[in-house]
Structure formats: C-alpha cells, structure tokens
Chains A and B, each alone.
Chain A
Amino acid sequence: MSVNLTLLTVMGALYACGIYLILERSLTRVLLGLMLLANATNLLILATGGYAGLAPIFDKDTPAVDYNDPLPQALILTSIVISFAVTAFMLGIIYRTWVLARQDEIQDDAEDRRVAETPSFDAEDDSVIPVETSEFPLAMVGSDGPVPTGTAAVMSGGRPVRADKAASEEQPGSLNVDPRKEGGGK
C-alpha cells in the first residue's frame, strides 16, 4: 500500500489544529476542533485506500487492479453523515448555552465544586459521641456539644409549626438542631 504525501501532511495539520482547538474553553472553538478532527480522520480513511484509481464502477474490460478501493469511500461517506449530524446537534447546544447563559464557555459543575469544598468532617459520622450512648436516650443529641440535662423544650429553629408539631409528636424529648450549625457544605 502506498500513500499520498500531500494528503498525509494535510491530515497531520488538521489533527494538530483540531486537538489544539478542542482544548479551548470556548464551545465554538471546541466544535471547530471536532470538525477538523472528523475531517482529518476522513483523510486518514481515504489514505488507507492506496493510490488513486478508476472509479469503482464495474466494467468487463478493466482489470481489477485499476479500480480504486471502494470500501474506504463508503466508510468516509458514512462518517461524513455522522459528523454532520453531530455538528448540527452541537450547534444547537451552543445556541442554547448562549440563550441560557449569554456565554460561549463550558460551565463548571456546581455540585462537583461543592463536593470538592466540603470539609472532610461530617457532622453525622464524625461528631463527638456523647457520654450517654444508650439506644433510647431521652434527648437525641446532635453535634453541638453536651446538652444541659432537663432540656425538654423543642427548638423549632425558625421552621414551620407543622414540622415542629410532627417532630414533637414523634418523640417528646427530641432536640431540634438548627441546620445551619451542622451542614458542612458552605
């Protein structure tokens, strides 16, 4: 099998530009990069077909070696159609990003950032265990220090009264802890 040097050089240049572009943060450039990569790959497939030959339309008088290899062309056709569809879809997404955020850049994943910033201390798993470790204590102790004995009053923590009622119904002595002191995620 022999290859065409011009084709290879162009292919290499396309790959280089494509890879450079998909490393950008701007979506339009990423799309351009993907298009260049797809086209470079099409050239690569074309190169696997070997030397240029006659169009592969059967004719009795032509010897088989004179034809061009038809298979790579069929593959390229399919891959062009696929990359066309993906490009159209990406353009749709980019337009939608623009409509939503007025921005042509890939956004950070908010939940990912939040998890990354969460301290390793976990209020529920790691807090100091109170001395009273009975399974059925009168007061369910949270994370914020020892509870003064005899505190049977329910602290609603600014929550709706219904919640308060439900909680007190469920366990008379339960201590309602203010969530802001516990949640580690801020």
Chain B
Amino acid sequence: MNITSFAPLAVVLPILGAALTFLLIHYPRAQRAISIAVLTLTLLLECWLLASVWEGGTAAVDIGGWLPPWGIVLVVDQFSSLMLVVSSAVSLAVLIYATGQGMADGDRDAPVSIFHPTYLILVAGVSNAFLSGDLFNLYVGFEILLTASYVLITLGGTGPRIRAGVTYVVVSVVSSVLFLIAIAMIYGATGTINMADLAIKLGDLDQGTRTLLHVMLLVAFGIKAAVFPLSFWLPDSYPTAPAPVTAVFAGLLTKVGVYAMVRTETLLFPGDALNAPLMVAALLTMVVGILGALAQSDIKRLLSFTLVSHIGYMVFGLAMSTVAGLGAAVFYVAHHITIQTSLFLVTGLIERRGGSSSMDRVAGLAKLSPVLGVLFFVPAMNLAGIPPFSGFLGKLGLLQAGVELGTPLAYALVIGGVLTSLLTLLAIARVWNRAFWRKPEDAEHPDPVLLAAPEDSATGDRAGRTNVTLLPRTMVGSTLGLVVFGVALTVFAGPLFRVADQSAEEMLDRSPYIHAVLGEDVPVPPVPPAAQTGPRQQQGQPQGQPQGGGK
C-alpha cells in the first residue's frame, strides 16, 4: 500500500485533535499535550509524503472511493507536499510559542481554552487547501481556515480586536463569495469542478469566457493573498491579534492564497493571457507595500506592510510562467513563510520584553537582551535579502529569471525588486536602530521600565515587573527553532531549489497532475497559446542547475 493514500490524514488528524482538545476544554495541560502531539504527528506524516512524492511522483487519493471527475480527490505533488511540510513545521513552532505564552501568563488573558481546538482546525483547513484537487473542496478548505481565523483574530474580544476582526471578516466573506461565484460559473460553463478535469475542459471554451473566469478566480485569490490593490485589509487587521496568531496568519494564510493563484495560473489557465496585468500588480504590490512599511512606527504594522510587499515577489515569479521564475517563486514562498512568521514571533517577544511594539517607546533592547537582538537580526537580514541568506537566494533566482525573460516589463520588475529589497533593508534597519541600538532615554516616549537598567533589578530577566516572566524559555526556544529552520533553508538551498524547480517543471507540464488524477490514458491538451510556453520551458531547464549550487 502506498504511503500517499495516507494523505487525508494530514487533514483528518488535526480535526480529530481539535475534537479531542475541545472535549478536554477544562484540562489545559492535556490540551497542550494533545495539540502538540497531533501537530508533530502530522508534520512527520507530511515529511514522509514529501519523500515519497519526490521518488514516486504525483499521486492522487479518491475520497470515499468515488472516481475522480465526480468524487473529491486529494492530490499530493511536489509543490503541495513541500507547502504542507513548511506550513506544518511553522505552525508547530507557533503552537509551542503560544503554549509557552499561555503557561507564562497563567492562561488568564483570554479564553485560551478555545485556542487549541481553533488552531488545529486552522491547520486542517490549510492542509485541505494545499491538498485539494477539486475546486469546491478548495473553497471548503478556505472556509475552514477562514472561520478558524475569524475566531483567532478576535480572541479575547477586546475593542481593537473586534474592530480589526470586523474588517477582516467582511473582506474575507466577500472574497469567498467571489470565489463561490467563480466556481458556479465554471461549473455552468464546463460541467465539472475537478481541477484536472477542468484543465482539459477549460481549453475548449472561447477566449472571452475563459478570461472572465480567470479574472474572477484571480480577484478572489488576490484578496486572500493580499495582492495590491486588494491588500488594504491586511495591515489594518493583522497587528491587533495576539502575537502567535498574527505570526501564523502572516506565515500561512496569505500563502494559501498565493498557492491557489499558482494552481490557477499553471493548471487551470496556462498560457500568458493575464501575465502582463499580473506583473503590473506584482510591481505595485512590492513598491506600494514597502513604502507603506517605511511610514509605520509600530513594528507589527511595519512587518504587515513588508508581508504585503513581499507577496509581490511571489506573484512576479508566478507571472513569468517559466520554470526558473516559478521555481524561484516556490522557493520564495517556503522561505517567506518561515521568515515572516519568525519575525512576528520575535516581535511578540519584543513586546513582552520592551512593554510595547511601538518604535517610539522601545529602545535599547540590544543591551537589555542580546538574545533577542540575535533572534531579530538573523531573520530581519534574511527578509531584506542580505547574502548569504535564503532571502537573497530567492530574490536572486527571481531576478535571474526576470532578466532571462527579457521583456521590458520584466526588467521593470527586476528594478522594482531590487528597489524593494533595499527599502526593506531600510525599514528593518530603522527597527534595529531604534528598538535595539539607541539608548532607552533617546526614545520619543520611553518606557520607564526599560529605563531601569537590568542590573538594578533583582532578577535579570524581570526588569521591575515581578508578576510575569519576560522571556519564557518555551517562547524563546520555539522562536529560536524557527530562526534556525530559516537558516537551514539557506544551508539546504541547493536541494530545496531542486525540489522547487522540479515542482515548477511538473506544474508547467501539467501532465503528471492530470495523469495522476484521471489516469494515464487521458490526453493532455496543449497549452492554448502553445508557442509561448513550449520553447521557454526548454530554455528554463538548464537555468535551474546553477541556482542549485547556491549553498
């Protein structure tokens, strides 16, 4: 029996865990143990899936024994299994961090008892969206993760969180309605919602209908992925949530949107019909996002804007629809999930240690807590794309692919990418200079607790606050783990780039996916404007090798 037939467990395990933790709502210790155990198990399973897919190729699982064009099918290919592994690793780290925070604060801040079940359901929704081979099941996956995220973003029900939650819920519901309308119209036009089947049948529609459906899907996913101009909601709603929640949202939710966009562009609507508008959107996302980041004085908000900005890089790679570009985008998604999440976790620690996440108040942290400095510095430099970190490798791959494509628009994006990278460095350096390097008394509104030198307080890590541990070991440990994972992405960039390029090749080829779902004897239609992608694919392949050497 093939291991890939266990793929549904990636969705079922977290849901079972959620049910168990919900039953044990009055036993916080059991809840913690169960949710961590369940996520660890899921992560192991997904690593196994990735390994088996790497050797055995794309595989599909028919749920309930219904055959593919009719029944729901889960598809495990290299891209989806890579996303599963990275997302589960990140969510496990965030869960441990949240558990540490809950234990340190004595679980009195918020109704934390519902945190664990909701969090596991969120993970299940993310897994379902990554695995789904059926458009409506993708919608259900989105809804599972969104409904869980509604609960998480309003956790505790304080004024600012409710305000942010309203924006978030309304925008998400509208995007879901758009997605559902697109599904209904696609079903009306083709009579199927199976993605492999659609890949064959959508090609028969006339150009106008196809463009309409394509645009509708892209708009729906663009809202979820926060692509400019549909990104307005993100910096507004993310920063108010608790630190671990913001971290997991920043890491995973937008990337699920990007994942869906990748599937739309490669599997359902291949060819470069909308590549030019996508490139313009990518450029605007990068530049407008990072300019927004420069204006912020709150670290969480600043990071939310960099999150929006860096989505632009992924859309850029996707819009090139070459193996080199798409491979770099896949690599960049994996890198960005890890880095952005660890930065938000560190910001949570900064908020604990410094009493605030506002750069007007926090200062002098490098002296107070050198560990925190290192934890912030490494992912921050990684985000800004300083060599030799994975951020640099990902951006380099994208820029190389852009230059190789050689159209004027691609060059504009290459310039925009470099500019955004520099501006990210500027934004990050501002945080570093203000929160870490300057003296506490230089802050605009310094926190009296920070001004008290650490050596004055009896216990070094409490600085005048006696009721809380400022840097609990679990929180620092899980953040450290994630930062190390980010560095590991750099060290193992060679193999990772190979996986990314291979998955990009498979996605652009489409036949492994379609054959895995519908059987080997199904003819795969050529990509509609076939003259465009065919030769480029050939060009792209040798380019994958030199990037692989970037260890």
Q: Is A173 among interface residues, defined by CB-CB distance under 8 A? A: no
If the complex has contacts A72-B187, A162-B452, are A183 and B445 also in contact, measured as CB distance less than 8 A? yes
Within 8 A of A (CB), among B128-185: 136, 140, 143, 147, 150-151, 154, 157-160, 162-167, 169-170, 173-174, 176-177, 180-181, 183-185
For this complex, 16 residue pairs linking A to B, each with C-beta atoms less than 8 Å apart, are A45-B183, A45-B184, A71-B193, A79-B180, A82-B176, A86-B150, A89-B151, A89-B169, A93-B169, A96-B157, A107-B163, A109-B164, A112-B236, A160-B451, A174-B439, A182-B444
Q: Is A75 among interface residues, defined by CB-CB distance under 8 A? A: yes
Q: Which chain B residue has the least Cβ–Cβ distance from A100?
A: B159
From A142, A162, A167, A174, contact of B456 by CB (8 A): A162
* A93, B166: Cβ atoms closer than 8 Å: yes
Q: Which of B294-302, B318-326, B394-402 has 4 or more CB atoms under 8 Å from chain A?
A: B294-302
Q: Is A97 among interface residues, defined by CB-CB distance under 8 A? A: yes
Q: Which chain B residue has the least Cβ–Cβ distance from A82?
A: B143
* A106, B166: Cβ atoms closer than 8 Å: yes
* B453, A93: Cβ atoms closer than 8 Å: no
**When chains A and B are docked, how far (Å) is the Cα of A163 from the Cα of B157?**
35
* B301, A111: Cβ atoms closer than 8 Å: yes
From A47, A112, A176, A183, contact of B441 by CB (8 A): A176
If the complex has contacts A45-B184, A112-B236, A170-B439, are A159 and B301 also in contact, measured as CB distance less than 8 A? no
**When chains A and B are docked, how far (Å) is the Cα of A75 from the Cα of B439?**
60
Q: Is B255 among interface residues, defined by CB-CB distance under 8 A? A: no
From A1, A41, A123, contact of B444 by CB (8 A): A123
Q: Is B360 among interface residues, defined by CB-CB distance under 8 A? A: yes
Which residues on A are within 8 Å of B, measured CB to CB? Answer: 1, 22, 27, 30, 34, 37-38, 41, 44-45, 47-48, 71-72, 75, 78-79, 82, 85-86, 89-90, 93, 96-97, 100-101, 106-107, 109-112, 115, 118, 123-124, 140, 142, 159-160, 162-163, 166-167, 169-171, 174, 176-177, 179, 182-183, 185
* B187, A115: Cβ atoms closer than 8 Å: no
Further contacts, 10 of them, CB under 8 A, given A86-B150, A124-B438: A38-B173, A72-B187, A75-B183, A82-B147, A89-B151, A97-B162, A109-B164, A109-B236, A167-B439, A167-B440
**Residues of chain A within 8 A of B174, CB atoms compared:** 22, 34, 37
Q: Is B546 among interface residues, defined by CB-CB distance under 8 A? A: no
Q: Is B442 among interface residues, defined by CB-CB distance under 8 A? A: yes
B residues contacting the other copy or chain, number (CB 8 A): 54
**When chains A and B are docked, how far (Å) is the Cα of A169 from the Cα of B438?**
16
Q: Which chain A residue has the least Cβ–Cβ distance from B445?
A: A179
**When chains A and B are docked, how far (Å) is the Cα of A134 from the Cα of B268?**
62
Chain A binding surface, main DSSP class: helix
**Residues of chain A within 8 A of B177, CB atoms compared:** 34, 37-38, 41
CB of B510 to closest CB in A, whole Å: 24
**When chains A and B are docked, how far (Å) is the Cα of A90 from the Cα of B169?**
8
**Residues of chain B within 8 A of A177, CB atoms compared:** 442
**When chains A and B are docked, how far (Å) is the Cα of A161 from the Cα of B166?**
44
* A183, B444: Cβ atoms closer than 8 Å: yes
**Residues of chain A within 8 A of B451, CB atoms compared:** 159-160, 162-163, 166-167
**When chains A and B are docked, how far (Å) is the Cα of A124 from the Cα of B159?**
32
Q: Is B524 among interface residues, defined by CB-CB distance under 8 A? A: no
* B452, A111: Cβ atoms closer than 8 Å: no
Within 8 A of A (CB), among B422-451: 434, 438-446, 448, 451
**When chains A and B are docked, how far (Å) is the Cα of A1 from the Cα of B187?**
11
If the complex has contacts A115-B296, A163-B446, A185-B360, are A97 and B166 also in contact, measured as CB distance less than 8 A? yes
If the complex has contacts A47-B188, A93-B154, A162-B451, are A115 and B297 also in contact, measured as CB distance less than 8 A? yes
> Sorted from nearest, which 6 A-B pairs have the closest CB atoms?
A163-B451, A48-B188, A183-B444, A166-B453, A45-B184, A167-B441
* B167, A163: Cβ atoms closer than 8 Å: no
* B297, A185: Cβ atoms closer than 8 Å: yes
**When chains A and B are docked, how far (Å) is the Cα of A118 from the Cα of B164?**
21
If the complex has contacts A48-B184, A159-B448, are A93 and B165 also in contact, measured as CB distance less than 8 A? yes
If the complex has contacts A97-B162, A163-B452, are A89 and B439 also in contact, measured as CB distance less than 8 A? no
**Residues of chain B within 8 A of A170, CB atoms compared:** 439, 453
If the complex has contacts A79-B180, A89-B169, are A109 and B445 also in contact, measured as CB distance less than 8 A? no
